Amino acid sequence: MSDWFRDQDADLPWLSVGSEGIHDQAGNVGEWCATKWQAEYPLPNAEEWSDGYLSGDATRVVRGGSWFSNAYRVRAAYRNLGEPGIRLSNLGFRCVRVRR
């Protein structure tokens, strides 16, 4: 990584750490999700979370925006779609921990 990018980073002391101990997540990259894309959302039943629904090569939901997005898209609630196999510098994935 170029030193220029590292030098542009700034601390934002008014942002608090969340309950999971992380912060500053919005605006880094748009996040691939396991959910298949459907224009109608949320789905009317639990089908969306079944193993069959989550498998396959379907278009997936991308949540949030990136460093390249406008303010409206830099929200976890923002939904877009992404074709499998696409590779972009402003697209990543979401780390999730399920408590049981």
Task: Report residue 1's pLDDT band, with 50, 70 and 90 as the boundaries.
Answer: very low
What is the side-by-side order of every strand in the sheet holding 79-82?
A: 79-82, 60-63, 30-36, 91-93
Range of the domain at 67: 25-93
20 within a domain of the structure (yes/no): no
Min mean pLDDT across 13-17, 76-80, 96-100 is at 13-17
41 within a domain of the structure (yes/no): yes
Q: Measured between alpha carbons, how far is 89 from 68 in angstroms, rounded to an integer? A: 10
User: What is the pTM for the complete model shown?
Assistant: 0.63
Higher pLDDT, 31 or 94: 31
18 within a domain of the structure (yes/no): no
11 within a domain of the structure (yes/no): no
**pLDDT tens track for 14-65:** 566 777 776 666 778 898 887 888 887 776 666 655 666 666 778 888 988 8
Domains identified in the chain, total number = 1
